[in-house]
Amino acid sequence: MEKNAKIYVAGHTGLVGNAIVRELKDSGYENLILRTHKELDLTRQAEVEAFFVQENPEYVFIAAGLVGGIKANSDAPADFYYENMQIANNLIWSAHKIGIKKLLYLASACMYPKNCEQPMKETSILSGYPEVTNEGYALAKIGGVRLCSYLYKQYGDDFISAIPANAYGLGDCFDPDKSHVIPALLLKYHKAKLRGEKQVVLWGSGKAKREFINTIDIAKASIFLMNYYSDEKTINIGTGEEISIMELSQMIKRIVGFEGDIVCDLTKPDGMPRRILDSSEICKMGWFPKVSLNDGLTELYDAYLLS
């Protein structure tokens, strides 16, 4: 990407999108096009098409979407499917219609099958059913990835897609009804510490394993791929390291300074038993993650205390 190129970041107020904007600015890209949801409703096709015609961006990063944890996804699968499918279709097709130079669509690791072979290779997509607790979201993300691939093959559009591991980082959502596991646990332990509680209840058995990646690393990888990757195949962005939810909980407990016990609520779902990406393809290209989980969690908790 040229430093003066017009770059549109969809979802710039979100967790990953905000990190991409920060990294673009730090890297010398200043000609950025940004719109809030109030300024542009990405679920409305006519609005999105008009925006693309008017602004005529050269490059597009798609980090927009309706996101949430297990509870939110389980409670509103229709919302998660519809909104994310609309956003993907509207943005990707509008970009195709005006002939932009390149597009990166960011998907999600939850789109892999529930019982996928681990670590999960890009070739395993559509080899089985996704985890039921986030099926609506997963299917929408699969649709966005496949549309990029179809446009690449049919029209020669340089539209690529990537699948980050579980994202966390500065700007994370600490709403107990919407947050993902890391901010949810940080908030839970922080409140328990302030109240002097003797224990914290952890959803599920704690045995499920996950791979977490800081949004700084996702942002750097996204710009790296935009500059150096072109293929119809989606590509994973991960750290290559996994941790059980119990181990993560213990790490957060230590960082927060909570001294009570951890009790598992076995009536709550674990979700997918294990989820780690095979990120060997992007690593072969020369990209590697830099932020350790401990450092990233400490930075996030410090930022929360200052908010």
Which residues participate in the annotated binding site?
Answer: 11-17, 141, 180, 188, 203, 210, 270
* CA–CA gap between residue 94 and residue 108 (Å, rounded): 22
- Catalytic residue from among 105, 137, 229, 301: 137
DSSP assignment of 159-170 equals: EEEEEE-EEE-T
Q: Helices (DSSP H) in the chain: which residue ranges?
A: 15-26, 45-55, 70-75, 77-98, 135-155, 181-195, 215-228, 245-256, 280-284, 293-306
In total, the chain counts a number of residues equal to: 307
Kindly state the tokens that stand for 145. Answer: 């990835």
- Residues contacting 28, CB < 8 A, separation 6+: 3
Q: How far is CA 223 from CA 56, 153, 195, 233, 254, in A?
A: 20, 22, 43, 17, 34
> Annotated binding site for substrate, which residues?
188, 203, 210, 270
Around 113, how many Cα atoms within 13 Å sit in the side-chain half-sphere?
13
In this structure, the dihedral spanned by the alpha carbons of residues 25, 28, 30 and 32, taken in order and rounded to 10 degrees, is -60
Environment class of residue 268 by beta-carbon count within 10 Å: exposed (0-12), middle (13-18) or buried (19+)? middle
Contact 258, 192 (CB under 8 A): yes
Q: Which residues pair with 262 in a beta bridge?
A: 200
137 an active-site residue? yes
Q: Which residues does the annotation mark as catalytic?
A: 137
